[in-house]
């Protein structure tokens, strides 16, 4: 592997880490930037959670909405079978729960 390959791999890892931090922290601007350059919204962490699952679990409604508008799968399940909706419910995030529940019931866009 060349030095350039190593550098590109390192930069790619940093961007991926930034994406997960943006989802967890609710940084809508950073998330938008990553989505604009083609970030993989269905990537999973070591627990099998997607960015949408993480944002729902943390109660980050604006990021949840942004990810859904970008095409994130609201039915994704982590390694233990938790969905974004079940994670929002379990963590007491009413606004995210209501959003996801309404989307499931009415099959609508946010």
**Extents of the domains making up the chain:** 3-106
Three-class SS state of 74: coil
- pLDDT tier, 51 (very low <50, low <70, confident <90, very high otherwise): very high
Give 50 or 14, the one with higher predicted confidence.
50
Q: Are 95 and 59 in contact (CB under 8 A)?
A: yes
CATH class of this structure's domain 3-106: mainly alpha
For 8-43, write each residue's pLDDT tens digit.
454 454 456 788 999 999 999 999 988 888 889 999
CA distances to 12, 78, 85, 105 from 92, in Å: 34, 18, 11, 20
Q: What is the pLDDT of residue 7?
A: 43
What's the chain's average pLDDT?
86
């Amino acid at each position: 592997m060349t030095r350039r390959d190593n550098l590109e791999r390192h930069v790619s890892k940093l961007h991926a880490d930034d994406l997960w931090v943006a989802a967890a922290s609710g940084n809508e601007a950073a998330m938008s930037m990553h989505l604009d350059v083609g970030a993989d919204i269905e990537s999973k962490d070591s627990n099998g959670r997607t960015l949408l699952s993480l944002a729902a679990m943390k109660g980050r409604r604006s990021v949840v909405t942004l990810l859904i508008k970008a095409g994130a799968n609201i039915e994704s399940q982590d390694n233990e079978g938790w969905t974004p909706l079940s994670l929002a419910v379990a963590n007491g995030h009413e606004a995210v729960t209501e959003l996801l529940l309404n989307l499931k019931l009415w099959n609508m866009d946010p």
